[in-house]
Amino acid sequence: MQFVSFVYLHFYEPHIDISVIPFFDFQRFYKQVFFFFLDSGFCLRSERMNDWASLGIGSIGEAVFSKLLKVVIDEAKKFKAFKPLSKDLVSTMEILFPLTQKIDSMQKELDFGVKELKELRDTIERADVAVRKFPRVKWYEKSKYTRKIERINKDMLKFCQIDLQLLQHRNQLTLLGLTGNLVNSVDGLSKRMDLLSVPAPVFRDLCSVPKLDKVIVGLDWPLGELKKRLLDDSVVTLVVSAPPGCGKTTLVSRLCDDPDIKGKFKHIFFNVVSNTPNFRVIVQNLLQHNGYNALTFENDSQAEVGLRKLLEELKENGPILLVLDDVWRGADSFLQKFQIKLPNYKILVTSRFDFPSFDSNYRLKPLEDDDARALLIHWASRPCNTSPDEYEDLLQKILKRCNGFPIVIEVVGVSLKGRSLNTWKGQVESWSEGEKILGKPYPTVLECLQPSFDALDPNLKECFLDMGSFLEDQKIRASVIIDMWVELYGKGSSILYMYLEDLASQNLLKLVPLGTNEHEDGFYNDFLVTQHDILRELAICQSEFKENLERKRLNLEILENTFPDWCLNTINASLLSISTDDLFSSKWLEMDCPNVEALVLNLSSSDYALPSFISGMKKLKVLTITNHGFYPARLSNFSCLSSLPNLKRIRLEKVSITLLDIPQLQLSSLKKLSLVMCSFGEVFYDTEDIVVSNALSKLQEIDIDYCYDLDELPYWISEIVSLKTLSITNCNKLSQLPEAIGNLSRLEVLRLCSSMNLSELPEATEGLSNLRFLDISHCLGLRKLPQEIGKLQNLKKISMRKCSGCELPESVTNLENLEVKCDEETGLLWERLKPKMRNLRVQEEEIEHNLNLLQMF
């Protein structure tokens, strides 16, 4: 039989109509036309065909989904340089591909008009359009294009994780592997769910918002911010995270009682999850709360069906807000079960932890000073016979100790309520003598915080305990912590940085990006780590369960020249922290510390002699010396380090030494030397009696940062042939590098960022044959690169933000596969070279003025 049809072939732009096409084999012709124009980038439409099945594809066994998906995968793999396509999206599509093959094999059993399959088809079509569009994407459109690819990727993952299960529950895909028992269970559940329309007399207060019976102080601002996010139509899931005791539940309870929120959401359900989540029980509670008989679910899949049916019924009466309170880490799969795609349905979670998969994450901060003061005054009335000045002085000392933690303020305030002035004074004095809030007489605070520690993985527990070795209120460079952990735990720096991120996501510390330099290759100077004093106390309390001499970590605080008696005995700790005040005269006791592997020295005096007993620490691997005084401290007795066979990392901050001191120590095991805000005085060159390559034979990394009086490098640095990384950053007086730097043939990373007086790099730089990364960002005085820089064939990345005045020599065109990170103005220097350079990638980045830099000082 002969068929005649009107076919419209639409280009993306412009639209073109093609006239009547007669043919005999209708189905075969449409399949050929469809795939021909699909591969050509066109889109086929038909007046009489509204979906794939009606195109004739699928009704005779053609692979509808998998065929198109295979085409998209093959096309995306062509763009290897663009990882969001060739890696991220392709990996997701390859996971999805066998599922589409199974779906294609069941075309006769399936309804291709079902919602989930329509969405899958649309997603694959969007992916096809996006992939074919990539060659035409301009450089300035890359960011927007990447976000589009990420949305497609997310939708495909959602189908694998959620929509496929919904298809199974509808009994649409029974042949995909559902057993008969499960099919029968789902069918039986559907019949029972149909009975939900008949309410029964059951307990209806299982998911109500808790009533607040305490004073609310300091939550007005976060309440406003949280309400703004929740009322935003683009936000579907929202997490409120903070350390324990900061008032998350109180904030969310008050939010649910807000007139604007109650006016927006017809249904508000509040469920406490805790650290043992039970999805089925929560769904049962939701059913009963809404007047239905309790159902006993045999598995979570049945409960998901019940939840969806309930929500679909409730949303007919108005929007729904589901609050899940106190959700713990590792509950991602639990939360996914609640993330049902329905209009006017939102989820609000409170947690001690972050959940990056959620749309929005709001971090609740400790109370500001005025709010903390108001809360303390509410709980602790002013003692009798106290002058206003004396009362204010006591208040400020107590507030400093509580540091904005609402639960700590409440517990301390209640304990002082109605007590005498002497009791107030006694409490403040006991804290000054070292008593901790987390012990007696305040066990409630420890009970609140302890579960957060107990929930940590073993590796994270060890790392969290180490944080107690640093002073309170200290801003610590992430590199300091990671360097210590590298030697204590034998793991790579990238893994250990991930540990820091994990602790930050659980709100047990704060990771603050400074955001100016690269943090690859183990360079983490651009992150600060801070920790609330109460959380530091928690770390110390865990270590104090053992006697002083048996602890793995030990803190020694010396006021003036007073040592505790236990210092006279052998100390078995592997991590020892010693802190001295500005009155300490460096008169040390002889201490026996044979097992110390990491030593942290915190000093405040202007003159400081290293203790001679360091020479007996034969296992010492890491030494960190930090001066907390205003001016660099003069460091003496440096020679006690020369007898340490295992010392691998030294970090000196805000001390005064001569650079010649370093090679004279002849530390043959030293791997990394860090000098931060140090003063060197005159640079000495007399190293004739020292063979530097032998004295520092294993030194691989030198990091010099914010050393303001460094105007030139000592010659001996050019003799460390083992050196792989040299970082000289924020040293404004540095004007030149030695010509002999070309001797560093193993050097892979050279960072010179923010060396503003540096006018040129020596021509000998061409000798750095293994150099792969050069950072000259913010070297404002740099006028040119070495003429023969093109000889550095291993150089793959240059970072040069704010270097628009730097001349690029012709030889730079010899560099292949080069990636340049720069600002827009500097990028113009490179754009003109693109025709001459093979695979040049110029990544222009906006210059961010990060106020977090102020926290360093």
- What is the pairing mode between strands 320-327 and 237-241? unpaired
Say how far apart CA 116 and CA 131 lie, in whole Å: 22
CATH of domain 457-545: 1.10.10.10
pTM over the 0.85 mark: no
Reported in sequence order, the residue ranges of 63-212 that DSSP labels E, i.e. its strands, are none
Q: Is residue 727 very low, low, confident or very high in pLDDT (cuts 50, 70, 90)?
A: very high
Query: Stretch 121-137: mean pLDDT, rounded?
Result: 88
Say how far apart CA 182 and CA 186 lie, in whole Å: 6
Torsional sign, CA 427, 428, 431, 436: positive
pLDDT at 60 over 70: no
pLDDT at 42 over 80: no
Say how far apart CA 844 and CA 826 lie, in whole Å: 9
Sheet with 607-609: strands ordered across: 607-609, 633-636, 655-656
Percent of the chain at pLDDT exceeding 70: 81
Query: Stretch 308-329: mean pLDDT, rounded?
Result: 90
Give residue-wise pLDDT tens across range 645-665.
999 999 999 999 988 888 989
CB 573 within 8 A of CB 551: yes
b/e code 764-782 from CB counts within 10 Å (16+ = b):
bbbbbeebbbbbbbbbeeb
User: Which tops the pLDDT comparison, 797 or 853?
Assistant: 797
Give residue-wise pLDDT tens across range 148-197.
888 898 888 777 766 665 565 454 333 333 333 333 433 333 333 333 33
Query: Stretch 397-405: mean pLDDT, rounded?
Result: 86
Query: Stretch 551-555: mean pLDDT, rounded?
Result: 89
* Angle at 300 (CA atoms; ends 295, 303), nearest 5 degrees: 40
User: Which tops the pLDDT comparison, 533 or 652?
Assistant: 652
Indicate the range of 103-107, 125-129, 788-792, 849-853 predicted with least confidence. Answer: 849-853
- Give pLDDT, residue 464: 93
Query: Stretch 826-852: mean pLDDT, rounded?
Result: 80
- Give pLDDT, residue 182: 34
Residue 506: which residues within 8 A CB-CB, separation 6 or more? Answer: 329, 352, 353, 354, 452, 455, 456
Residue 421: which residues within 8 A CB-CB, separation 6 or more? Answer: 383, 384, 385, 386, 390
Residues in the chain: 857
**Residue 782 corresponds to which tokens in the numbers above?**
């740099």
- Give pLDDT, residue 405: 85
Task: Report DSSP state, residue 124.
Answer: H
Indicate the range of 371-380, 381-390, 517-526 predicted with least confidence. Answer: 517-526
pLDDT at 768 over 70: yes
pLDDT at 467 over 60: yes
Query: Stretch 327-355: mean pLDDT, rounded?
Result: 90
CA distances for 744 relative to 400, 719, 725, 755, angstroms: 51, 7, 10, 20
Q: Is residue 59 very low, low, confident or very high in pLDDT (cuts 50, 70, 90)?
A: very low
Q: At what angle do helices 478-489 and 493-505 cross, to 10 degrees?
A: 120
Task: Report DSSP state, residue 580.
Answer: E
pLDDT at 848 over 90: no
- Give pLDDT, residue 114: 64
| DSSP per-residue string spanning 348-390 | EEEESS--TTSSEEEEPPPPPHHHHHHHHHHHSPPPTT--HHH
Query: Stretch 289-296: mean pLDDT, rounded?
Result: 76
Query: Stretch 564-588: mean pLDDT, rounded?
Result: 90
**Residue 40 corresponds to which tokens in the numbers above?**
């050509």
Query: Stretch 330-350: mean pLDDT, rounded?
Result: 91
**Residue 170 corresponds to which tokens in the numbers above?**
């509808």
**Residue 94 corresponds to which tokens in the numbers above?**
């390859």
pLDDT at 359 over 70: yes
Annotation: CATH topology of 219-363:
Rossmann fold (3.40.50)
User: Which tops the pLDDT comparison, 845 or 62?
Assistant: 845
Phi–psi pair at 675, nearest 5 degrees = -125, 115
